[in-house]
Structure 1
Amino acid sequence: MEPKLIIFDCDGVLIDSEIISAKMLVAELAPLGVHIDLDYIGAHFLGRSYPVVMQQIRQEFGVTLPVDFEDRYRERLLAAFERGLKVIPHVTAVLETLTATGRNWCVATSSSPKRAELSLRIAGLDHLVAGRLYTSSLVARGKPAPDLFLHAAAARGVAPEACLVIEDSLNGVRAGRAAGMRVWRFIGGSHLADKQLHEPDDALPERRFASFDDFTQRIGATAEGGAGATAETTGATTGGTTAAPCCGKEEL
């Protein structure tokens, strides 16, 4: 069935921001004696809201963060975005095509409204996403809870089962599945490059794809091939075994 609403995550899906955010967090925490790496961030923090991440850091590492930590981190992160944030290849063309053909789509992100708006402006997507942006500030629970996706679907007037979610994080996949929506996982962001993609059973997407170059054609193909249709891409591990290849937050 062709989806009636496509819900895109933002960071790591539309914009290649996750690798910048992760490196900045590693650098900011190190002087406080908290030493983590990118793999740790990917496993524990990707797709989650900033307050949740900070709470986990306090609990797991027993550290008291300076009162200005968040302001300093966000200021330096946005400066890094200004220097090096890029839109994911082919995304601009995809969003333009979806808009021009009257398709119903939106963006649902764990980022704060300010960060999401600034990031999209820097990436040159703000004019396309205007009026289509939903952030975790609108709901009580962030990903992996389904609240944000359900809120976006309701706002767009579409039943959950008629929605397709595009996510990169396991927590995002979990949220989409919990909402009763179809979920495709985008694995083409820099933060997932050369990674072994372990996917627990509760975070298995319908499909995986590494490029948006023929995304609009794939969307149309779902109407012909059904939910089980697949196309070739990088494999992932599920429950410790390799999955058959298939197609193709307020966040930190």
Structure 2
Amino acid sequence: MKRVLVLRAREDAARTSEKLRALGFEPVLSPVLEIVATEATIPSGEYDAVLASSAKGVECAGNISALLGMPLHAVGAKTAKAAETRGWRPDIVAGNAEAILPLLLARYAQPAHFLYLAGRDRQAALEAGLRAAGHRVTAIDVYEARAATALGEDARRALAAGDIDIALHYSRRSVEIFLALAEAVGLTPRLGGVTHLALSDDVATPLRAIALEPRVAQKPNEERLLALLRQV
């Protein structure tokens, strides 16, 4: 049975592990991130719509009762589902920032004010694109992803023994943290013997920077990443 290294935040890693076992793989967990709500206060204001680019942005937003009457636009089906769970009916939903931006620009022809329920570490493309088109974006960091200080012991031992077949990579930041933690314990040379699967080209970039050759999912979602895993 092939062993698959899962580097997601703990709750997400647990859900991925169930899917891996159902597919006949053995997951090895080493969460490199911990998701923590910032308890940030959402400022009152005249907003035209709410944006969320991750499920955590919705889940960690605190009291949203005053926002539920506004349209919510979501990046990703998982984000949309989290919004539905909290009482929203998501409006525009697209798979990534590059896909949702033209849809938002088409919907909002006149300058609008967006409230963005965001993570502290995030890609700037969505905000930058909206602002460049004359829109106002108020981004509130409702959660942060704190870096782990060490690899999980099971993962460290398995990597050292050459006992990891495949590693799944979901975000650029998690890749960067993983590579730093592996280097800290002298395991970088072992990574060449692992098949690396990345959610997107952006996620793959730090791996390519150290001469690894990751395979990239056709679309940036877990369904396509696991489809790629099945091909391997």
* TM value normalised by structure 1: 0.34
Choose between structure 1 and 2: higher helix proportion: 1
User: TM-score, normalization: structure 2?
Assistant: 0.36
Of Structure 1 and Structure 2, the greater strand share is in 2
Identify the structure with bigger relative contact order (alpha carbons < 8 Å, sequence gap 6+). 1
